[in-house]
């Protein structure tokens, strides 16, 4: 039996395969992320691998967590989340597109 690939190697292999995928099968959010992560997708693969292999620090479960999510996120659709706060019309890059709404939610949470 083969050992599983490390997350980063698996993501790089996926990125190489995806680069040959027909454009019409890619989502709009994938194309938007290409603009943020560069044409090779290297940053996006690194970020995905980092999220998949992330281990919380000791005591992290004692820190309050508030999930703010956009209802138009195509990368992580809201129906698959348990968001505490919803930004209407928000997509995947909320801090860039809805910074004022995020700030308002953070002020409400802090109060």
64-86 pLDDT per residue, tens:
888 999 999 988 899 999 999 99
Note the helical H segments in 1-111: 7-18, 28-37, 42-52, 94-97, 99-110
pTM over 0.75: no
Q: In the predicted model, what is the mean pLDDT of residues 53-58?
A: 86
Sign, CA torsion 24/27/30/31: positive
Q: What is the mean pLDDT of the chain?
A: 79
Q: Indicate the pLDDT class of residue 48, thresholds 50, 70 and 90.
A: confident
Percent above pLDDT 70 for the chain: 69
The answer to whether the beta carbons of residues 51 and 69 sit under 8 Å apart is: no
């Amino acid at each position: 039996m083969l050992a599983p690939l490390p997350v980063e190697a698996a993501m790089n292999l996926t990125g190489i395969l995806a680069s040959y995928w027909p454009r019409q099968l890619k989502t709009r959010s994938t194309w938007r992320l290409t603009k943020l992560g560069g044409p090779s997708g290297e940053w996006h693969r690194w970020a995905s691998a980092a999220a998949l292999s992330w281990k919380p620090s000791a005591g992290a479960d004692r820190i309050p967590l508030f999930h703010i999510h956009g209802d138009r996120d195509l990368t992580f659709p809201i129906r698959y989340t348990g968001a505490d706060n919803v930004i209407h019309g928000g997509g995947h890059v909320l801090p860039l597109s809805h910074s004022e709404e995020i700030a308002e939610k953070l002020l409400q949470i802090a109060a």
